Protein backbone atom coordinates (compact mmCIF):
# COMPACT_ATOMS: atom_id res chain seq x y z
CA UNK A 1 0.00 0.00 0.00
CA UNK A 2 1.21 3.45 -0.88
CA UNK A 3 1.17 6.45 1.34
CA UNK A 4 -2.18 8.21 1.34
CA UNK A 5 -2.23 11.65 -0.20
CA UNK A 6 -3.10 14.23 2.45
CA UNK A 7 -6.20 16.26 1.72
CA UNK A 8 -5.54 19.92 1.15
CA UNK A 9 -8.76 21.87 0.74
CA UNK A 10 -9.27 25.51 -0.15
CA UNK A 11 -12.42 27.18 1.22
CA UNK A 12 -14.02 30.00 -0.74
CA UNK A 13 -16.60 32.25 0.86
CA UNK A 14 -17.30 35.09 -1.54
CA UNK A 15 -20.28 35.99 -3.72
CA UNK A 16 -17.79 36.48 -6.58
CA UNK A 17 -17.66 32.69 -6.94
CA UNK A 18 -20.89 32.95 -8.98
CA UNK A 19 -18.85 34.54 -11.78
CA UNK A 20 -17.21 31.91 -13.98
CA UNK A 21 -14.02 33.95 -14.45
CA UNK A 22 -13.52 34.14 -10.67
CA UNK A 23 -14.12 30.40 -10.36
CA UNK A 24 -11.52 29.57 -13.05
CA UNK A 25 -9.02 31.96 -11.40
CA UNK A 26 -9.50 30.08 -8.13
CA UNK A 27 -9.05 26.75 -9.92
CA UNK A 28 -5.71 27.96 -11.36
CA UNK A 29 -4.65 28.89 -7.81
CA UNK A 30 -5.65 25.43 -6.55
CA UNK A 31 -3.55 23.73 -9.23
CA UNK A 32 -0.58 26.04 -8.68
CA UNK A 33 -0.44 25.27 -4.95
CA UNK A 34 -1.47 21.60 -5.33
CA UNK A 35 -4.79 21.74 -3.49
CA UNK A 36 -6.93 18.68 -4.08
CA UNK A 37 -10.25 19.95 -2.79
CA UNK A 38 -12.50 23.00 -2.97
CA UNK A 39 -15.11 23.98 -0.41
CA UNK A 40 -17.69 26.45 -1.71
CA UNK A 41 -19.14 28.11 1.36
CA UNK A 42 -22.08 30.31 0.53
CA UNK A 43 -24.38 31.42 3.29
CA UNK A 44 -27.33 31.56 0.89
CA UNK A 45 -26.65 28.23 -0.82
CA UNK A 46 -29.51 26.31 0.78
CA UNK A 47 -31.86 29.21 0.16
CA UNK A 48 -30.91 29.17 -3.52
CA UNK A 49 -31.32 25.40 -3.87
CA UNK A 50 -34.57 24.95 -1.93
CA UNK A 51 -37.75 24.61 -3.98
CA UNK A 52 -40.38 27.20 -3.09
CA UNK A 53 -43.16 26.10 -0.81
CA UNK A 54 -46.61 25.45 -2.33
CA UNK A 55 -47.73 28.40 -0.16
CA UNK A 56 -45.31 30.76 -1.90
CA UNK A 57 -47.15 33.64 -3.65
CA UNK A 58 -47.70 32.75 -7.32
CA UNK A 59 -46.30 36.11 -8.44
CA UNK A 60 -42.81 35.18 -7.17
CA UNK A 61 -42.70 31.43 -7.88
CA UNK A 62 -41.50 31.71 -11.48
CA UNK A 63 -38.61 33.99 -10.54
CA UNK A 64 -37.59 31.77 -7.61
CA UNK A 65 -37.72 28.61 -9.74
CA UNK A 66 -35.62 30.26 -12.45
CA UNK A 67 -33.02 31.38 -9.89
CA UNK A 68 -32.93 27.82 -8.50
CA UNK A 69 -32.53 26.33 -11.97
CA UNK A 70 -29.70 28.74 -12.81
CA UNK A 71 -27.96 27.89 -9.53
CA UNK A 72 -28.23 24.15 -10.19
CA UNK A 73 -26.93 24.56 -13.74
CA UNK A 74 -23.96 26.64 -12.58
CA UNK A 75 -23.09 24.17 -9.80
CA UNK A 76 -23.25 21.29 -12.29
CA UNK A 77 -20.71 23.13 -14.46
CA UNK A 78 -18.52 23.75 -11.42
CA UNK A 79 -18.75 20.07 -10.41
CA UNK A 80 -17.90 18.92 -13.95
CA UNK A 81 -14.88 21.26 -14.09
CA UNK A 82 -13.67 20.05 -10.68
CA UNK A 83 -14.07 16.41 -11.66
CA UNK A 84 -12.14 16.92 -14.91
CA UNK A 85 -9.33 18.52 -12.89
CA UNK A 86 -9.33 15.89 -10.12
CA UNK A 87 -10.47 18.37 -7.45
CA UNK A 88 -12.94 17.23 -4.79
CA UNK A 89 -15.87 19.61 -4.47
CA UNK A 90 -17.70 20.23 -1.22
CA UNK A 91 -20.68 22.54 -0.84
CA UNK A 92 -21.31 24.24 2.47
CA UNK A 93 -24.36 26.36 3.14
CA UNK A 94 -26.62 27.57 5.89
CA UNK A 95 -30.33 27.79 6.40
CA UNK A 96 -31.13 30.45 8.94
CA UNK A 97 -34.61 31.76 9.68
CA UNK A 98 -33.48 35.36 9.09
CA UNK A 99 -32.58 34.79 5.40
CA UNK A 100 -34.64 37.04 3.10
CA UNK A 101 -34.72 34.48 0.26
CA UNK A 102 -36.10 31.82 2.60
CA UNK A 103 -38.78 34.25 3.79
CA UNK A 104 -39.91 34.58 0.18
CA UNK A 105 -39.82 30.83 -0.49
CA UNK A 106 -41.47 29.72 2.75
CA UNK A 107 -43.85 32.48 3.86
CA UNK A 108 -45.85 30.12 6.08
CA UNK A 109 -42.97 29.94 8.57
CA UNK A 110 -42.63 33.68 8.94
CA UNK A 111 -46.19 34.93 9.34
CA UNK A 112 -45.67 35.40 13.05
CA UNK A 113 -42.73 35.67 15.42
CA UNK A 114 -43.74 32.53 17.33
CA UNK A 115 -40.74 30.34 18.34
CA UNK A 116 -42.47 27.19 17.05
CA UNK A 117 -42.23 28.63 13.51
CA UNK A 118 -38.44 28.75 13.74
CA UNK A 119 -38.38 25.15 14.99
CA UNK A 120 -40.68 23.98 12.16
CA UNK A 121 -38.51 25.79 9.64
CA UNK A 122 -35.29 24.21 10.94
CA UNK A 123 -36.92 20.76 10.88
CA UNK A 124 -37.61 21.29 7.18
CA UNK A 125 -33.86 21.47 6.53
CA UNK A 126 -32.69 18.88 9.03
CA UNK A 127 -30.94 15.79 7.71
CA UNK A 128 -33.13 12.72 7.74
CA UNK A 129 -31.45 9.31 8.02
CA UNK A 130 -31.69 7.15 4.91
CA UNK A 131 -33.45 3.83 5.09
CA UNK A 132 -31.74 0.74 3.75
CA UNK A 133 -34.01 -1.41 1.65
- How confident is the model over 69-125, as pLDDT tens digits? 999 999 999 999 999 999 999 998 776 656 667 767 766 666 556 666 555 666 665
pTM: 0.75
**Secondary structure (H, E, C), the chain:** CCCCCCCCEEEECCHHHHCHHHHHHHHHHHHHCCCCEEEEEECCHHHHHCCCCCCCCHHHHHHHHHHHHHHHHHHHHHHHHHHHCCCEEEEEECCCCCCHHHHHHCHHHCCCCCHHHHHHHHHHHCCCCCCCC
Confidence of residue 132 (pLDDT cuts 50, 70, 90): very low
Taking the domains of the chain in order of start, what are their residue ranges?
A: 9-25+32-110
Amino acid sequence: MGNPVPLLFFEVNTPAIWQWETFTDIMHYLKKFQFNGLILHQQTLLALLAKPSPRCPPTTVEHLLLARSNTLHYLQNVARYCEENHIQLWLQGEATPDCHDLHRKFPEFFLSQAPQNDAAFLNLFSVKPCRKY
